[in-house]
Amino acid sequence: MAIESVQKVGLFYLPLRSEGPPGAPINTLNLTVYTPKSTVTGHSEVTQAVNPPLNVSSHVTGNLIYATVMGPGSKIRLDLTGWPEIVWPAGAGVGPVIPENYSAIVLLEPDYSGGEIIYQYRTGLTGEWHQVRQTISKIGAGQEPLNKAA
């Protein structure tokens, strides 16, 4: 399937998971992709079995880009930026500016059969960034547009 022949038809759910060798961070992404406007939104969770346990949870948004890359073929690229999940009390008004705690570039095969992710995260508002490069180990089913049920 050539990238140029992809028709932008609707909204679909795209669950992804990346992991490395034992002890490496695991990144779980639950995304919705809206192809007509090439936008992505969802949730990222970076976990690691260390003491204390790592758990960086982020609301992510980004863009969908059909790109030709060096080497054979083309890729589907997702550029994501994430912010910590904040729950404001009802009627609390405007809050402070929260700096981002997650960013990623996801490169997927045109048929969603595999891919690679380069992401970075930080644990505090001003903490040090940690960069990770991993292969996508699981791409969930669900590339059917959600509007088919209507």
| Reported pTM | 0.81
Q: pLDDT tens digits, residue range 30-66?
A: 999 998 999 999 999 999 998 889 999 999 999 999 8
Q: Is residue 30 part of a domain?
A: yes
The CATH number of whichever domain residue 123 belongs to comes to: 2.40.128
Query: Which pairing describes strands 130-139 and 115-121: parallel, antiparallel, or unpaired?
Result: antiparallel
CB atoms within 10 A of CB 55: 10
Q: What is the mean pLDDT of the chain?
A: 85
At 121 the three-state DSSP class reads: strand
Task: Assess contact for 81 and 61: CB atoms under 8 A.
Answer: yes
* pLDDT the model gives residue 97: 81
pLDDT digits (tens, 9 = 90+) for 54-106: 999 999 999 999 887 677 778 899 999 999 988 778 887 777 788 999 999 99
8 A C-beta contact, residue 81 and residue 102: yes
Six-digit token string for 128: 């040090």
Split into its structural domains, the chain has a count of 1
Determine the pLDDT at residue 88: 78
Are 36 and 8 a contacting pair, CB within 8 Å? yes
**Is residue 149 domain-resident?**
no
Domain containing residue 26: 3-86+96-142
